[in-house]
Amino acid sequence: MYTNQHTLKHKYEFSGKGLHTGLKVNMKIEPAPANFGIKFKRADLGESAPLVEACVDFVSATSRGTTLDKDGVQVLTLEHLMGALYAMHIDNALITLDAPEVPILDGSAKYYAEAFSKDGLQVQNAPRKYLVLDRKVICRNEFGSEMVVYPDDHFSVDVMIDFNSKVVGNQYARFEKETDFASEIAPCRTFVFFHELEPLFKNNLIKGGDLDNALVIVEKAVPQEELDRLAGIFNVKTLERVPEGYLSHTQLRFSNELARHKLLDVLGDFSLVGYPIKGKVIAYKSGHSINSSVARELRTLALRQFKRGLNLSR
């Protein structure tokens, strides 16, 4: 259990494109002082633009990613980066972007985790303040998603997914204090079903999506001419469906990579509570919508505990 806050030892720079906007973006992640928290700066909007706190209070959209919006300043698709910061116990950092969206990179948190792990962290002279639950939190939504957070001495997450898919099947993943996030969770990539691609394009999403930053699941046989058309959209020579039901451009990094990626999303969205959590999370068919709903309730509980003067760092 970490008793003190941590920040980064060095500044890191990443460049890429936004998954949904398709815009090229340069991002800097820098150390920050104790009690600063995680904040985003939009350099492209000038010095007068407000910093955007990584806080669930500012979540404005949860469709295919989590969006923050403070006074009209938006930050899109931050969940993979935030998942890495949260899982690796980084409390304070300033993140500067020159476009609205965090770069998608390879669709995972792999490169963040590798960089932070290599250099280690800087211990700060300020205590970490934990949200210590005194009751369970339950949430269900109209999409069939369910999430329960139980009081516990440590933080853990159990994720179960079921897309009614013969290809994916039912998958399970777990994160606990013994889990090596950098090697077991961070490399797991985002995914999409083949039949979802056209609607997403038509809804002005995944402009930056390509076959290097997402797994594409093909549930049924698709005519080769349709695959050829998709290959043209993604600017690759050829595509074919492999027997396992994924497009031939990639191989799974884990047999349950999809569940592990959903777990990464939970970590990223729960980081927006603003405090590390002592609690056991059980999630079924989780997504950004229910993640954010539960994160809001957890933040409310944390603020109430602070108001009552309870020691959340115990």
Catalytic (active-site) positions:
288
What residues form DSSP beta bridges with 121?
8
- Fill in the DSSP letter of residue 245: S
- φ, ψ of residue 137 in degrees (nearest 5): -115, 130
Closest CA to 25 of 68, 75, 72, 63: 75
Largest Cα–Cα separation, the chain: 65
Q: Which residue has the tokens 């339950």?
A: 138
- CA 121 to chain centroid: 21
- The one-character DSSP state at 77 is -
Which DSSP string do the residues of 216-266 spell out, in sequence order? EE--S---HHHHHHHHHHTT-S---B-TTSBBTT---SSTTHHHHHHHHHH
Classify residue 51 by its DSSP letter: P
* Interatomic CA distance for residues 293 and 53, integer angstroms: 18
